[in-house]
Amino acid sequence: MQATVLLTDYAWPDDSVERAIVEAAGLRLVSGPADPASADAIEALVREHKPAAILTCWARVSAGAIAAAPDLAIVARLGVGLDNIAVDAASARNIPVTNVPDYCVEEVSDHAVGFALAWTRGLVHFDREVRAGRWVPADARLRRLGTLTCGLVGFGRIARATARKLGAFGCRLLAHDPYLSAGAAEEAGVQARSLDSLLADSDIVIVHAPLTEDTHHLISHAQLALMRPGGLLINVSRGAIVDTDAVVAALASGQLSAAALDVLESEPAVPAALLAQPGAMCTPHVAFSSDASLLELRRRAAEEVVRVLSGGAPQYPCNLRQMRGAAQ
């Protein structure tokens, strides 16, 4: 009997890439709806099909879903973050949870730099002005990116790429990450700082941190108050790291002149209060996306599933430590 791979959802037109790889390995692919279904609906799909592997994009893979698959051997994320997967439940059963950690490094860092350039050059503001019939170049209050200090909150793969690109403009670079040593920071061309110190000294703050219990609302009212008045906040990581209400308040008061957000804690719903702020620049969680990155993501995630179901070790297990702890 063929082992089943459940693809819970997908953020692209079809499942052709995943299906070709899975079926070429002699496995059966069952796809859920393209738009992520509820956790209860995913649990129902798991109970029905009893998959040996779950591939998930945005859909919630709950502890109940993991418990409903007695032969489950892997939960693979089509992405980087694991906040939609009950990792502890998988670890308790020694089931590896995997991701594709580096497929969109260039895209997300490009998006962050693009937001910074859009702000310093007034691209969004002046596009809106011209479309409204106003042609007033004397109103320009633009800045040279290379003269600014940019603070990176989190300093993993993507943040390092952002630092490399901003460094080419001549920016002064600060970074905050609990795992960043002074030596590693110096080698990467950044200054390691505490979060408060980074916020106080930065013209642009870019969030590149993962979402965990410790980073939920890491950037809220108190943190935004530390920033230089009139600065820019960029979030290309996870929405819930930034308190949206605090951002709206900072924009309304002028503490922030702009906030560039690819992610929101309420997505896909966008608060009306945020949309009402002229300094808000929003994109619909697309920083990861390009023709090249999506093809790489889909191929590598499906290949990881095939590798594990064929008896191999996963290339990118994210919960080895938890699995070892559960086995002791």
Within 8 A by CB and 6+ apart from 112, the residues are 162, 206, 208, 234, 236, 287
The single-letter DSSP state of residue 268 is T
Distance, in Å, from the CA atom of 282 to the CA atom of 160, rounded to the nearest integer, reads: 23
Which tokens sit at 83? 């906040």
Residue 74 CB contacts under 8 Å (≥ 6 apart), including other chains: 52, 53, 54, 95, 96, 97, 98, 304, 305, 308, 309, 314
Phi, psi dihedrals of residue 184, rounded to the nearest 5°: -65, -35
Show which residues are catalytic: 238, 267, 285
Asked, colleague to colleague, whether 4-102+291-327 and 105-282 share their fold, the answer is: yes
Domain ranges of the chain: 4-102+291-327, 105-282
Cα-based angle 158, 165, 104 (whole degrees, multiple of 5): 30
Question: Is residue 232 within 8 Å of 116, Cβ to Cβ?
Answer: yes
pLDDT of residue 42: 98
CA atoms within 13 A on the CB side of 154: 24
Task: Count CB-CB contacts under 10 A for residue 10.
Answer: 24
Q: How far apart are CA 247 and CA 286, in angstroms?
A: 20
Structural class in CATH, domain 4-102+291-327: alpha beta
The predicted model scores a pTM of 0.90
Cis peptide leading into residue 268 (ω within 30°): yes
> In angstroms, rounded to a whole number, what is the distance separating the alpha carbons of residues 310 and 160?
35
- Thinking of the domain 105-282, which architecture would CATH place it in? 3-Layer(aba) Sandwich (3.40)
The sign of the CA dihedral 66, 69, 75, 77 is: negative
178 DSSP 8-state letter = T
pLDDT of residue 25: 98
Task: Using CB atoms within 10 Å of the CB of residue 100, give its burial: 0 to 12 exposed, 13 to 18 middle, 19+ buried.
Answer: buried
Cross-sheet strand order for the sheet of 74-77: 28-31, 4-7, 53-56, 74-77, 97-98
pLDDT, one tens digit for every residue, the chain (328 residues)? 799 999 999 999 999 999 999 999 999 999 999 999 999 999 999 999 999 999 999 999 999 999 999 999 999 999 998 999 999 999 999 999 999 999 999 999 999 999 999 999 999 999 999 999 999 999 999 999 999 999 999 999 999 999 999 999 999 999 999 999 989 999 999 999 999 999 999 999 999 999 999 999 999 999 999 999 999 999 999 999 999 999 999 999 999 999 999 999 999 999 999 999 999 999 999 999 999 999 999 999 999 999 999 999 999 999 988 886 655 5
